[in-house]
A and B are shown apart, each in its own frame.
Chain A
Amino acid sequence: DAGVTQSPTHLIKTRGQQVTLRCSPKSGHDTVSWYQQALGQGPQFIFQYYEEEERQRGNFPDRFSGHQFPNYSSELNVNALLLGDSALYLCASSLGDNPSYEQYFGPGTRLTVT
């Protein structure tokens, strides 16, 4: 039973560039949530995808966008990168109609913006 996978593991970009991060949910899960975790902080919710639509969004600018594919995998795109976007980006998957709402996290992608 494959868990949540994310790629790439690490990424270095320069200011102004664009980046795409990828996530495959745990087998059987259909909902993907993305979180940003800055150093020394708890994860902050970016947005959630279910049935290929963005269902909920946290307090992040439009530079952050995403997509969910028919196989439930998801991408997070960040445009016009800022130094402050440097963080660990976590993907969490869950089952959309499961009231226990336990979310399983992937290992994350560590993004460094220089």
Chain B
Amino acid sequence: RKEVEQDPGPFNVPEGATVAFNCTYSNSASQSFFWYRQDCRKEPKLLMSVYSSGNEDGRFTAQLNRASQYISLLIRDSKLSDSATYLCVVNIRTGNTPLVFGKGTRLSVIA
């Protein structure tokens, strides 16, 4: 079983739609969780951290379910500029340890 698994998509949604991505991780000792966004042929950029209590940043909501070992990202009112690959990222231990990335979920928002 891969450490971090995501549905690769693509998800093709119209502007204004709500879309949700899920991600599962295998190591129950995982400590930190993130969503990164990666545009085509660009570097990944941190979109948001994911906390146990859930967190929201504008149109984006991230949630963590430790019991089921999955992380979700909800995007409301999709914009054309949201088109990108969304990478689920897990940090296994505390401290400055390497990030473990999923393969990413590709989102295309269509006018």
What is A's interface to B at a CB cutoff of 8 Å? 31, 33, 35, 40-45, 48, 50, 56, 58, 88, 90, 92, 94-99, 101-108, 110
Query: Which A residues are CB-close (under 8 A) to B32?
Result: 101
Contact segment of B64-72, B76-84, B95-103: B95-103
Contact segment of B14-22, B42-50, B52-60: B42-50
Majority DSSP secondary structure for residues of B touching A: loop
Asked if B94 is at the interface of the complex by the 8 Å CB criterion, the answer is: yes
Asked if B91 is at the interface of the complex by the 8 Å CB criterion, the answer is: yes
Shortest distance in angstroms between B1's beta carbon and chain A's nearest beta carbon?
Answer: 15
Shortest Cβ-Cβ A-B pairs, 6 listed: A42-B101, A45-B98, A105-B43, A42-B103, A43-B101, A101-B96
Query: Which B residues are CB-close (under 8 A) to A95?
Result: 96
What is B's interface to A at a CB cutoff of 8 Å? 4, 8, 32, 41-46, 87, 91, 94-104
Residue of B nearest to A58 (CB): B98
Shortest distance in angstroms between B49's beta carbon and chain A's nearest beta carbon?
Answer: 8
A31→B96 CA distance, assembly (Å): 9
Determine whether the beta carbon of A45 is less than 8 Å from that of B96: no
A61→B91 CA distance, assembly (Å): 23
Given A31-B96, A94-B96, A98-B96, does the pair A107, B101 have CB atoms closer than 8 Å?
A: no
18 further contact pairs, Cβ within 8 A, besides A92-B99, A97-B96: A33-B98, A33-B99, A35-B101, A42-B102, A43-B99, A48-B98, A56-B97, A56-B98, A101-B32, A101-B91, A101-B96, A102-B46, A103-B46, A103-B99, A105-B44, A107-B43, A108-B42, A110-B41
